[in-house]
């Protein structure tokens, strides 16, 4: 995995356009403890139900959960499911100005029946038809308005008919005029329609279908065939439990093994990867950093039953498990840290950053974590001792470290610790808010 120290901290909340097939995911949960006397099938005793945005909607949901400002471009039918889908998206902070109600279509619904954390069956209610000319023209007319201030575009194609060749071509043209990067998650065998996007992100099966090759052919050959077919900078292939492989037009290959504690359900993992990759690239991260973060996000997603939305807080904590240096944040990059600490009780200890690591300091760290398990260290020196930082980051008592850029008051006002301390002659000294202005 690419070393990710600082990568998450460098994410910048921005507007992301997601164009693609919107659908409603419905879940029915319960227990199946006996077989029906009517037929040899299990009886499900329903315990709960929930509805979530699916398809491109899941990408939007993940972007919102990551703290970005997602903008939807898609369609729903004139039906109850379409109204529910728009309502959920709006509640999750998604801009739905680009969600078109099409009288010729019905909202796609995928209903999953889950017993004891195992999916028993999926019921699909949908009509697959191309976007009407009127709806297509409406989407194209909306593009200039929707693209205002956008840092990146995700195309989430589920083959339901919204992303027509004409609409994709117009999105590519408009993005090129504004120098906006496009990442496309394709569907079907014809990848020509995505020509001009920056990055194509199929799953393994889609990649082989797009290259018209048998599954026993090497993946490098698949990449070679796809690059021959379309204008593309990078091909990124998601491979479920095998991780992610990235190929450049120049022949470079980078493999990212799966990072997960337990694989429960790969549903929606591709959407999570698309969301994190688009957010990362829109924030100016390198492709390698973007894929590495996406791989971590996918690992979190497949540990959850059903489509999961991954938060910056989850990402921040997971990264510290792989690299203790990921605990360290610059003060000007509090976006991810604020999300990680939201509604979590923690204490903050201000240190000079050039002191020796003493038994008194270690005892103070242990004492603070007895009250609240989470502890943030604020370093008052803009150029602290790197050895001290490395040592502090390696300790399980230390949750995160913030290096000064402005003032301690600025940090405290953003992350809101329960209590703030510094050290006075080796002893913990509680600080009041007015004491923080010049620290």
Q: What CATH number should be reported for the domain holding residue 299?
A: 3.40.1190.20
Q: Is residue 234 within a helix (H) or strand (E), and if so which, with residue range?
A: strand 234-238
pLDDT of residue 1: 45
Tell me the per-residue pLDDT of 370-412, one tens digit each, with 9 for 90 and over.
877 899 999 988 888 888 899 999 999 999 999 988 888 888 8
Residue 271 falls in the annotated catalytic set: yes
Do 293 and 338 belong together in one domain?
A: no
Do 89 and 223 belong together in one domain?
A: yes
Query: How many CA atoms lie less than 13 Å away from 176 in the CB half-sphere?
Result: 10
Active-site entry in 21, 102, 265, 271: 271
In a domain, 321, yes or no: no
In a domain, 398, yes or no: yes
Give CA–CA dist 260/241, Å, rounded. 9
In a domain, 1, yes or no: no
pLDDT of residue 305: 61
Do 112 and 209 belong together in one domain?
A: yes
Tell me the per-residue pLDDT of 189-232, one tens digit each, with 9 for 90 and over.
899 999 999 999 999 999 999 999 999 999 999 999 999 989 89
- Edge-to-edge order in the sheet of strand 419-424: 328-330, 400-403, 374-379, 346-351, 419-424, 427-430
pLDDT of residue 413: 86
Do 89 and 196 belong together in one domain?
A: yes
Q: What is the pTM of this model?
A: 0.86
Tell me the per-residue pLDDT of 338-361, one tens digit each, with 9 for 90 and over.
888 887 889 999 998 888 788 888
Do 184 and 71 belong together in one domain?
A: yes
* CA-based torsion, 131, 51, 58, 283: positive or negative: positive
The residue whose two tokens read 């023209």 is: 137
Do 193 and 332 belong together in one domain?
A: no
Do 269 and 405 belong together in one domain?
A: no
Domains held by the chain: number: 2
For residue 103, pLDDT beyond 60: yes
Do 232 and 357 belong together in one domain?
A: no
Do 243 and 344 belong together in one domain?
A: no
pLDDT of residue 135: 94
Sequence-separated (6 or more) residues with CB below 8 Å from residue 402: 329, 330, 331, 334, 337, 376, 377, 378, 379, 411
For the residues 9-28, what does the mean pLDDT come to?
93
- How much of the chain, in percent, has pLDDT values that exceed 70? 94
In a domain, 24, yes or no: yes
Do 117 and 206 belong together in one domain?
A: yes
In a domain, 3, yes or no: no
What 8-state DSSP symbol labels residue 242?
G
Do 247 and 376 belong together in one domain?
A: no
Tell me the per-residue pLDDT of 62-71, one tens digit each, with 9 for 90 and over.
999 999 999 9
The residue whose two tokens read 């995160």 is: 400
Tokens for 262?
């337990």
CA-CA distances (angstroms) from residue 300 to 50, 65, 131, 149, 326? 21, 13, 34, 30, 17
Cβ burial of 216 (10 Å; 0-12, 13-18, 19+) is: exposed
In a domain, 421, yes or no: yes
9-13, 97-101, 433-437: least confidently modelled range: 433-437
**CA-based R_g, the chain, Å:** 24
In a domain, 226, yes or no: yes
In a domain, 19, yes or no: yes
Can you give the residue range of the structural domain that contains 380? 328-435
Sequence-separated (6 or more) residues with CB below 8 Å from residue 171: 19, 143, 153, 155, 182
């Amino acid at each position: 995995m690419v070393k990710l120290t600082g990568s998450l901290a460098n994410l910048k909340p921005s507007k992301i356009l997601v164009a693609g097939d919107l659908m409603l995911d419905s879940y029915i949960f319960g227990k199946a403890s006996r077989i029906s006397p009517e037929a040899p099938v299990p009886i499900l005793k329903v315990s709960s139900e929930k509805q979530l945005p699916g398809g491109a909607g899941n990408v939007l949901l993940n972007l919102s959960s990551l703290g970005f400002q997602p903008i939807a471009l898609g369609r729903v039918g004139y039906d109850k499911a379409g109204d529910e889908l728009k309502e959920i998206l709006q509640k999750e902070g998604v801009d739905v100005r680009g969600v078109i109600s099409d009288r010729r279509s019905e909202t796609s619904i995928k209903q999953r029946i889950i017993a004891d954390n195992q999916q028993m069956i999926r019921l699909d209610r949908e009509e697959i038809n191309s976007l009407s000319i009127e709806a297509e023209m409406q989407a194209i007319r909306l593009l200039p308005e929707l693209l205002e201030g956008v840092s990146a575009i995700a195309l989430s194609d589920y083959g339901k008919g919204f992303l027509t060749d004409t609409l994709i071509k117009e999105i590519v043209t408009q993005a090129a005029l504004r120098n906006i990067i496009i990442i496309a998650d394709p569907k079907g065998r014809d990848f020509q329609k995505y020509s001009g996007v920056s990055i194509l992100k199929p799953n393994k099966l889609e990649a082989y279908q797009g290259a018209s090759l048998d599954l026993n052919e090497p993946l490098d050959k698949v990449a070679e065939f796809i690059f021959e077919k379309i204008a593309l900078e990078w091909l990124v292939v998601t491979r479920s439990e095998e991780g992610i492989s990235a190929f450049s037009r120049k022949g470079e290959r980078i493999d990212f093994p799966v990072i997960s504690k337990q694989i429960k359900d790969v549903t929606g993992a591709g959407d999570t990867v698309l969301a994190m990759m688009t957010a990362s690239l829109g924030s100016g991260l390198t492709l390698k950093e973007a894929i590495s973060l996406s791989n971590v996000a996918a690992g979190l997603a497949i540990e959850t039953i059903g489509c999961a939305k991954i938060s910056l807080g989850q990402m921040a904590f997971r990264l510290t498990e792989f690299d203790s240096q990921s605990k360290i944040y610059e003060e000007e990059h509090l976006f991810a840290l604020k999300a990680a600490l939201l509604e979590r009780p923690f204490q903050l200890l201000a240190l000079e950053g050039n002191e020796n690591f003493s038994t008194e300091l270690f005892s103070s760290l242990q004492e603070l974590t007895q009250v609240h398990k989470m502890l943030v260290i604020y370093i008052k020196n803009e150029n602290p001792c790197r050895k001290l930082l490395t040592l502090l980051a390696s300790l399980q008592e230390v949750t995160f470290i913030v290096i000064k850029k402005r003032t301690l008051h600025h940090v405290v006002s953003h992350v809101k610790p329960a209590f703030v301390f510094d050290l006075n002659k080796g002893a913990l000294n509680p600080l009041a808010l007015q004491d923080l202005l010049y620290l």
